[in-house]
């Protein structure tokens, strides 16, 4: 690991000013905010991230979970994943989020990992994490050895000829299904970004993963008021039962009345280059009987644009079964 300067931000505005000295907030940033450190320090040890300056944001007043006047929930950027997962309001009103968080990493990691850090965690593509290999995301223009290489874990939705890396977060899938909003404090003031617009598709610039600019500090995330009577579930399929990333996962928020689906919010994990909300599956489901045949049709719609790589065609059927089962389980709960 290279040497770097370490400072503690005294207030959010100071953190923003420090961050704004970086040339980019994306891959290669020379100033990075340090939250739980479970992604960033890993990547610094591998020389994938080489910031000249770390700004510790752990003492900023961003660590609370608060009910909002409209009935929604405000989650501070430095709230630990374990505290969020076990918060009584989250367990009661947003179980898909609690389940997604608890399916990720390990208890020790969840005790350190934060809301914003999880939102911004990097891909687990093995070539990205190995500086001996080319990688368009790490070093633009060097190529993508995962295409035609080791890609069993990688994406089948939202890929480009430049990058097929998966967004690995479980939490992000639940946030997509819940239609969360990301709140950003930057040099020009504060702004809000719907979760669906926060992460970018790789396209020709896979080194750009989010809409963040230098200095942008995620201050908190808000969840809309819970939908009365909604049934929620996060289902994660992986190679082993714990401490493993998703091969395919589904976060669903369903409302059923008189045996028919009246509202559906559906997102997939483990298969997309970003947390994958599926409007196609939602449209296929609303108005349909809450039964297996409808759920399977929704799953077919969700995967209709999947483009498998050499080692991950199995993910298409796996993701369909994952979503079908998640919908059926949620509907019968
Ligand atoms: C062994 C292992 C297994 C794992 N398994 C899973 C899993 O199964 N599922 C899963 O979802 N995740 C998994 N993870 C990833 C884990 O969830 C993330 O590492 C964690 O959520 C990152 O949070 P952090 O607070 O530690 O982030 P950090 O490492 O501190 O930061 C990550 C990035 O976010 C930036 N950042 C942090 N806070 C802010 C902010 N407020 N504003 C702007 N930028 C910010 C940092 O600068 C950095 O670039 C695993 C990690 C490990 C090491
Ligand atoms: S898939 Fe993306 S992260 Fe992986 S090697 Fe290709 S460009 Fe790099």
Residue 2: the pLDDT is 80
Pick the ligand that lies closest to the CA of residue 164.
2
Q: Is the CB of 60 under 6 A from ligand 2?
A: no
Candidate from 15, 104, 240 with most ligand 1 atoms within 8 A of CB, to mutate: 104
Average pLDDT over residues 184-191: 97
The answer on pLDDT for 158 being more than 90 is yes
Residue 80: the pLDDT is 98
Residue located nearest, by CA, to atom 41 of ligand 1: 218
Tell me which residue of 76, 52, 51, 48 sits closest to 62, measured CA to CA.
Answer: 76
Tens digit of pLDDT for each residue in 101-127? 999 999 999 999 999 999 999 999 999
Q: Is the CB of 127 under 6 A from ligand 2?
A: yes
Residue located nearest, by CA, to atom 2 of ligand 2: 163
10 Å CB burial of residue 5 (0-12, 13-18, 19+) is exposed
Q: Alpha helix locations (H) across the chain?
A: 12-19, 40-45, 81-85, 88-93, 95-102, 107-112, 115-119, 171-177, 195-198, 279-285, 292-302, 314-331
Q: Provide the greatest CA pair distance for the chain.
A: 63
Tens digit of pLDDT for each residue in 202-223? 999 999 999 999 999 999 999 9
Q: Is the CB of 174 under 6 A from ligand 2?
A: no
10 Å CB burial of residue 62 (0-12, 13-18, 19+) is buried
Quick one: which atom of ligand 1 is closest to the CA of 118? 21
Q: How confident is the model at residue 1 (pLDDT cuts 50, 70, 90)?
A: low
């Amino acid at each position: 690991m290279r040497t770097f300067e370490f400072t503690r931000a005294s207030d959010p505005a100071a953190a923003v000013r420090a961050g704004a000295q970086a040339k980019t907030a994306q891959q290669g940033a020379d100033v990075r905010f340090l939250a739980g450190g479970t992604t960033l320090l890993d990547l610094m040890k591998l020389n994938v991230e080489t910031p000249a300056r770390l700004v510790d944001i752990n003492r900023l007043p961003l660590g609370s979970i608060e009910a909002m006047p409209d009935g929604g929930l405000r989650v501070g950027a430095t709230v630990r994943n374990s505290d969020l997962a076990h918060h009584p309001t989250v367990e009661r009103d947003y179980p898909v989020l609690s389940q997604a968080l608890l399916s990720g990493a390990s208890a020790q990691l969840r005790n350190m990992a934060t809301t914003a850090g999880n939102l911004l965690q990097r891909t687990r593509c093995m070539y990205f994490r190995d500086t001996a290999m080319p990688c368009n995301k790490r070093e633009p223009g060097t190529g993508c050895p995962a295409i035609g290489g080791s890609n069993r874990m990688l994406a089948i939705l939202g890929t480009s000829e430049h990058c097929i890396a998966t967004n690995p977060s479980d939490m992000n899938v639940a946030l997509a299904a819940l239609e969360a909003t990301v709140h950003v404090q930057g040099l020009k003031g504060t702004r809000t970004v719907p979760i669906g617009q926060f992460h970018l598709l790789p396209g020709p610039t896979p080194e750009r993963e989010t809409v963040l600019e230098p200095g942008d500090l995620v201050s908190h995330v808000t969840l809309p008021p819970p939908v009365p009577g909604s049934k929620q579930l996060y289902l994660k399929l992986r190679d082993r039962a714990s401490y493993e990333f998703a091969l395919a996962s589904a976060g669903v928020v369903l409302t059923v009345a008189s045996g028919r689906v009246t509202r559906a919010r559906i997102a997939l994990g483990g298969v997309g280059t970003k947390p994958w909300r599926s409007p196609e599956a939602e449209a296929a489901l609303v108005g349909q009987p809450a039964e297996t045949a409808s759920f399977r049709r929704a799953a077919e719609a969700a995967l209709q644009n999947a483009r498998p790589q050499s080692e991950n065609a199995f993910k298409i059927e796996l993701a369909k079964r994952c979503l079908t089962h998640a919908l059926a389980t949620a509907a019968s709960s």
